[in-house]
Amino acid sequence: MTFFKYLRDHIYSILVVLIGVTFIELVLFLDPRINFNPGTLIYTWILAMVFLTANLLISYNHKKVWYQQLESYQEDLSKELHGARNNEQKYIQNKINNISLEYRSELTDLYQNQKDQREYTESWVHDIKVPLAALKLSQDDTLDKKLIDEEIDQIDYLVDQALYFARLNNFSNDYLIQEQDLNEIVKSCIRTNKRLFISKRIGINLDINDKKVLTDEKWLSFIINQIISNSLKYTDQGGKISVFTKTADNNIELHIQDDGIGIASQDISRIFNKGFTGSNGRKSGSKSTGMGLYLVKKMTDKLGHDIAVNSESGKGTETVITFLDLPYYK
């Protein structure tokens, strides 16, 4: 900031001083009891202006360093602004630092979201090549129709996953919390996966109470579909999956339990990490992307549900989704 701009910002203060000094000079000049020489009055008025100018110069020089710091700060917003000398400057400094911190946080989130989107797109394109290649061979009459159906289901699953991943960052625009029939949602998810239930001859035990839960039907369906799909994937032929509800402290718990291969103890804490496939995904040769449970965790958090996974290698896995009792919604 130049000195003239500084003067313009303080024009009202300057005018008040000028008017005040001039008014005092006139009072003294017009007072008949005081015999002031006009030259003395002019001299004192000029002297007052000299002091005023000196005060403005000293004040400007005192703040000049601060203005220079503000100008240089915008070139590197990664650092905090410092150097404030008085309360006014400290107040401005704190405000700027808070705004800058929020800006850096949002920028970091944006970069991370772009990175996640790019990595997921690359992974998705790679994963969908396999079922597409299988479909290209579908004209061959000797090809197993069940295999084709499984590849079509895989494409459908990957497309859904990509759709929900794309919507995750705009979640608030795409959900509606209402009372939903959990029994109907679970049955719909089982029907979606019926082909794999039949092909692997996996039994299903269903015991869902009639209580309503507060959730979004579309997003919860994706969550349950993903969990059931994982159970089917890692459960051997002739296995069994149980889906049932419990009530604890007015909260409804949805349990999805299988007697599959389970999860290694060292993998449990990482199953919700993006891209983590674990030892099961590496050993089984299944088409595991490591994105399913990552999305499940993100979605349950956004919906306000709790999710927990209990498992032991070789003894199956139990996933529990807790629908919290929210009386203020009712």
pLDDT digits (tens, 9 = 90+) for 28-73: 777 777 776 778 778 888 888 888 888 888 888 877 777 777 777 7
* Residue-wise burial string across 94-129, b where 16 or more C-beta atoms lie within 10 A, e elsewhere: eebeeebeeeeeeeeeeeeeeebeeebeebbeebbe
Average pLDDT of the chain is 81
More confident position, 15 or 159? 15
pLDDT at 330 over 60: no
CATH (one of 3.40.710.10, 3.30.565.10, 3.30.70.1350, 3.30.479.30) for 178-330: 3.30.565.10
Per DSSP bridges, beta strands 240-248 and 203-207 are: parallel
**Reported confidence tier of residue 80, pLDDT bands at 50, 70, 90:** confident
Question: What pLDDT, on a 0 to 100 scale, did the predictor assign at position 97?
Answer: 83
205, β-bridge pairs? 242
Distance, CA of 70 to CA of 182 (rounded, Å) = 57
The two tokens of residue 85 are 């000398």
Residue 245's CB is within 10 A of a number of other CB atoms, namely 19
Predicted TM-score of the model (pTM): 0.61
Is residue 291 over pLDDT 60? yes
User: What would the pLDDT profile of 108-120 be if each residue is shown by its tens digit?
Assistant: 888 877 777 777 6
d(CA 37, CA 58): 32
CA gap 208, 186 in Å, rounded: 9
Residue 140 has pLDDT above 80, yes or no: no
Per-domain residue ranges of the chain: 3-75, 178-330
What residues have CB less than 8 Å from 306, skipping those under 6 apart? 300, 320, 321, 322, 324
In eight-state DSSP terms, residue 329 is G
- Element (H or E) spanning 241, and its range? strand 240-248
DSSP class of residue 142? T
